[in-house]
Structure 1
Amino acid sequence: MQLSTTWLNQLPLKDIQSVRPVSGGDINAAFAIETANNRYFLKVQPNRGRAFFDHEVDGLTHLSRAVRTPKVIASGTIETDGYLLLGWVTAGHGSQAQLGQAVAHLHQQRAERFGLDNDFTLGKIPKINTWQTDWATFYNHQRLDVLVKLARQQGLWSATRETHFQRLRANLLAQPHMHQVQPSLLHGDLWSGNYLFNAAGEPVLIDPDIFYGDREMDFAMTTIFGGFDADFYASYQATYPLDAGYQERLPQYQLYYLLAHLNLFGETYGPAVDRTLANY
């Protein structure tokens, strides 16, 4: 995607001196913008309008109360494109122990119920965040069921997967832990690509997909693709210990993220889904 001078002139910036494409994931076009005095990170979602970034802005606002995040400068619509303008974070090096402590502090942010004030349905993976008082109900109906329905629609489901999935659902409903969870603020997509360290070595969380849920769900995501070491886990546990038995519960939360990847990328993730479902 190329941004015209006319387009760029509608940003709330003065004296833009350079604009260059940068890596920003597979969802948005991303650019580094330099003005006479500052540097910015710009995300653009073609033809989607401002509403596409409302959830991310809300997430960064929530997260910033507990951890470091990029500063939101502005968001809006230019022509038909949605944009999100953030302060630039100069990358540095930091400790996994500090990162673990930061995530623990995030999870200490609480709510009375599970969910969020708004859904996010503009992306490829819909997030139904209707408030619930019971975590088992929320996780079954508003996370797993949504992705299984989508997999069926895309021809990515089978009778074998359905059999194991129904056993898992019954297991979740019967699990004492699922009815004792306290709602924590979750990052929602806590993989290694969604954190960095700034120039001062401080951990910064980016690209949130927030809601209030079981913190073990964020924890499970850290275990799927790597990027978190023993210092991270030790520091997290020292700051905010997880409940006994969490290791045995990790697969039930890993499944959600594997189902998301199954829907996004197809049968490449089928074997991982099947191995996880085989536990039930």
Structure 2
Amino acid sequence: MSDPSSALLADLVGQPVTGMRQLQGGDLSEVRLLTLADGSHRVAKLGSHARAEAGMLEAMARTGAPVPKVLEVRPLMLILEHLPESHALPGAWGRLGRRLRAMHDAPPPEGAGYGWPEDYAFGPVPIPCGLPGEAPGTATDWPRFWAEARLLQGIETLPMPLARRIEALAQRLPDMLPAAPRPSLLHGDLWAGNLLFGPSGNVHLIDPACARGDAEVDLAMLHLFGQPGPGFTANYGSLPPGWGTRRVIYQLWPALVHLRLFGPSYRTLVEDLLDRL
């Protein structure tokens, strides 16, 4: 996507933009740091899902989750407050654990089920909002949702032996996952790259791909490529028995997404998770 015009940016932020540079990251969208005439900064995210991401950030903010403020949104652009990156201070991970638990425990809207009100995507990989024949975000059968809207998505693109293993696992999910866990608000892509240590060393959640589902989905992603820092687990709180097996099931979907996005180097990760199950 080409850079937005100076006139459009000035209209969105209320003053002239004197500088703009691309920020690191942004594998699936373009992110720009804007310098304004008064010396302050804003972040502009460019892409077709700008409005959807704004809604996700605002939903998370209503639960008290630490997210950047949405300042302006247009069909192809989102303006956010700029949070200067810092480093984790003592207690930051513990505070994140408490606030993530509060987000997961927040009461869902009336009539909300599993999924989200609209489809989303990781670049070219779709994230379905629900199940066929049901209103978006209202699914009530969690194992079916995780099978059909997550693990089996895009299965036709996988090597046949791998696809058959995933299909076999999907049939077993009713015996392995809870039938109807609380439809918690999920960040949906909670890995270390989407944790920003901002002002005062606090952890902020960025780049969401929200859905409603089992809260353990976020924890599984957070533990897939690393471990949260000291105090997180104790402050998040205990999990029901059997969480270890569920964690592997929930980690399988982001592993499959990485396989589809970034190629065969992630096949071993997918196969290792399947072996553990």
TM-score range, shorter chain: 0.7 to 0.9
| Equivalent of 1:85 in 58, 79, 82 | 79
Change (3 A) 1:102 1:244: same
Alignment of 1:48-197 (within 5 A): 48=48, 52-66=49-63, 67-77=65-75, 82-92=76-86, 93-94=88-89, 95-111=92-108, 112-120=112-120, 123-130=123-130, 131-148=138-155, 152-153=156-157, 156-158=158-160, 160-175=161-176, 177-197=177-197
The answer to whether the 8 Å contact 1:198/1:204 transfers is yes
Q: Distance in 1 between matches of 2:96 and 2:154?
A: 30
Q: Tell me how far 1:54 sits from its aligned partner.
A: 1.8
- Which residue of 2 is the match for residue 26 of structure 1? 27
**3-state DSSP of counterpart to 2:200:** coil
Q: Distance in 1 between matches of 2:273 and 2:241?
A: 21
Change (3 A) 1:215 1:10: same
Q: Distance in 2 between matches of 1:219 and 1:163?
A: 27
- Which residue of 2 is the match for residue 271 of structure 1? 268
The answer to whether the 8 Å contact 1:55/1:209 transfers is no
What amino acid does structure 2 have at the position aligned with 1:28?
S
What amino acid does structure 2 have at the position aligned with 1:70?
P
Q: Tell me how far 1:31 sits from its aligned partner.
A: 1.6
Query: Comparing 258-267 with 241-250, which one deviates more in the overlay?
Result: 241-250
Q: Which runs of 5+ in 1 are unaligned?
A: none
Q: Distance in 2 between matches of 1:59 and 1:186?
A: 10
What amino acid does structure 1 have at the position aligned with 2:44?
L
The answer to whether the 8 Å contact 1:164/1:278 transfers is no
> Could you give the per-residue CA deviations for residues 87-109 of structure 1, whole angstroms, max 9, x where no partner exists?
11122333211111121111112
- Which residue of 2 is the match for residue 234 of structure 1? 234
Q: Tell me how far 1:118 sits from its aligned partner.
A: 1.4
Aligned residue pairs: how many?
Answer: 261
Q: Distance in 2 between matches of 1:189 and 1:219?
A: 10
Q: Distance in 2 between matches of 1:20 and 1:113?
A: 40
- Which residue of 1 is the match for residue 14 of structure 2? 13
The answer to whether the 8 Å contact 1:43/1:85 transfers is yes
Alignment of 1:255-270 (within 5 A): 255-270=252-267
> Could you give the per-residue CA deviations for residues 104-125 of structure 1, whole angstroms, max 9, x where no partner exists?
1111123342122112258312
Q: Tell me how far 1:165 sits from its aligned partner.
A: 1.6
Length-normalised TM-score, structure 2: 0.86
Q: Distance in 1 between matches of 2:68 and 2:9?
A: 21
Q: Tell me how far 1:10 sits from its aligned partner.
A: 4.9
Change (3 A) 1:7 1:180: closer
Q: Tell me how far 1:14 sits from its aligned partner.
A: 0.9
* CA root-mean-square deviation: 2.1
**3-state DSSP of counterpart to 1:248:** helix
Q: Distance in 1 between matches of 2:122 and 2:99?
A: 29
> Could you give the per-residue CA deviations for residues 200-220 of structure 1, whole angstroms, max 9, x where no partner exists?
232211111111101111111
> Could you give the per-residue CA deviations for residues 36-75 of structure 1, whole angstroms, max 9, x where no partner exists?
1531011123xx4xxx212211110111012121111112
What amino acid does structure 2 have at the position aligned with 1:265?
F
Length-normalised TM-score, structure 1: 0.85
Structure 1 residue runs of 4 or more that deviate by more than 6 Å after TM superposition: none
What amino acid does structure 2 have at the position aligned with 1:135?
W
The answer to whether the 8 Å contact 1:189/1:221 transfers is yes
